[in-house]
Amino acid sequence: MRASLFSLIFFLTFSIYGQDVTISIDTLSENTYMLTGRGGNIGIYVGDNRVFMIDDQFAPLSNKIKAAIATLTNKPISYLVNTHMHGDHTGGNVNFNSETTTLIAHDNVRKKLKKNGLKNVEANKMSPSDYKKSLPEITYSEGMTFYDGDETIMALHVHNAHTDGDTMIYFLNENVLHMGDTYFSGRYPYIDLNNGGSIQGYIAAHHKALLLIDENTKIIPGHGRPSNKRELETYTAMLKDIQAIVQNEIDQGKTLDQVKNNSSLLSKYDATHGNGYINPEKMRETLYRSLR
């Protein structure tokens, strides 16, 4: 499939939980696309004979996501990688898993999906057969490399960033990097401390990403619009700055409540980054907890 480098957007509108959701498609390079609906951004690579997919949002959206992919190609989805365990990135696993589609993820993604899935089976919220289909079938501890014709696709684990099971996927020739939720472009990041995330790991993931990419790389963030190296550099600098600011408060003996309630602490970034899921207060609290 040949497509221009410029953004080509399809809209498919449908209903989920009584609300309309639109699946839009951004064309990032000759063979890669970003799909946006509800939940984490989906990455699609159309190879010589097969499709490589990254994340699958929520189960009720699966048919419309498939319809959106069908506007790009009729090749089968051979591989579906989960960037991490959260439901807005793995909710469609059951619907996409098939004889032709293999689910792949980091070891800890399978562990967490297993644990949560078993709870759902016990509570009769999930059938045993769906539970089996929801789990990654191939896992890795550090990473995995895929080859498709001339393209090299690298799945790289980054440690304790957004969670303890994050993967970034880099398409070498296409020069496209999917960062999963190790990047929330244009907004404060959600760092899931209860599932092994940390601010230090989050920043380290950015350093790893910055080593891989160049000025022409297109970045798919877990949430937010497509981004690039310059924006990621600015964002990483912000993270380091807010880390230092909160660390300084901790060093001065400030309590969690003092930091949480100090609305001037990160005010230079709040207006531009504090309007997403993570508001300024949550950001201050997360940093404090992570650094303590």
Least distance (Å) from Zn ion to the CB of residue 86? 4
56 touching Zn ion, by CB under 5 A: no
The smaller minimum CB distance to Zn ion, of residues 73 and 195, is found at 195
47 vs 221, beta carbon nearer Zn ion: 221
Given a contact cutoff of 8 angstroms between Cβ atoms, the answer to whether 205 and 291 are in contact is: no
Which residue is it, tokens 């469609």? 92
Nearer to Zn ion by C-beta: 26 or 181? 181
Region from 1-9, 49-57, 82-90, 129-137 binding Zn ion, contact rule CB under 5 A: 82-90
Residue 222 and residue 183 in contact, taking contact as beta carbons nearer than 8 Å: yes
Q: Residue 178: helix, strand or coil by DSSP?
A: strand
Q: For residues 83 and 169, is the Cβ–Cβ distance under 8 A? A: yes
Residue 133 makes contact with Zn ion by CB under 5 A = no
CB of 164 to Zn ion, least distance (A): 12
Reduce the DSSP state of residue 41 to 3 states and report it: coil
Residues in Cβ contact with 145 at an 8 Å cutoff, skipping those fewer than 6 apart: 152, 153, 154, 155
* Count of residues in contact with Zn ion, rule CB under 5 A: 2
DSSP percent split of the chain into helix, strand, coil, nearest 5: 40, 25, 40
Stretch that binds Zn ion, among 84-92, 113-121, 240-248, 258-266 (CB under 5 A): 84-92
One character per residue 163-192, x = contact with Zn ion (rule: CB under 5 A): ------------------x-----------
Compare residues 181 and 270 and give the one whose CB is closer to Zn ion.
181
Minimum Å gap between C-beta 103 and Zn ion is: 17
Distance of CA 263 to CAs 183, 198, 232, 260, 266, Å? 24, 22, 25, 8, 7
Question: Cβ 1 to Zn ion, closest distance in Å?
Answer: 29
- Work out how close the CB of 184 gets to Zn ion at its nearest, in angstroms, rounded to a whole number: 9
- Which residues does residue 79 pair with via DSSP β-bridges, in sequence order? 52, 102
For residue 187, give every residue at least 6 positions away whose Cβ sits within 8 Å of its Cβ, in sequence order, or none. Answer: 223, 224, 273, 274, 275, 276, 277, 278
- 37: enclosing H helix or E strand: none
Nearer to Zn ion, 148 or 181 (CB): 181
**Closer of 40 and 226 to Zn ion (Cβ):** 40
Q: Which among 75, 93, 72, 77 is positioned nearest to 24, based on CA atoms?
A: 72
Alpha-carbon span 74 to 126, nearest angstrom:
30
Q: How far is the CB of 80 from Zn ion (least distance, A)?
A: 16
Selected from 50, 64, 86, 157, the binder of Zn ion by CB under 5 A is 86
* Stretch of 85-93, 121-129, 147-155, 243-251 contacting Zn ion, by CB under 5 A: 85-93
Nearer to Zn ion among residue 174 and residue 181 (C-beta): 181
Output the smallest distance, CB 222 to Zn ion, in A: 6
Smaller CB separation from Zn ion, 87 or 274: 87
50 is an interface residue for Zn ion by CB under 5 A: no
* Binding-site ranges for Zn ion (CB under 5 A): 86, 181
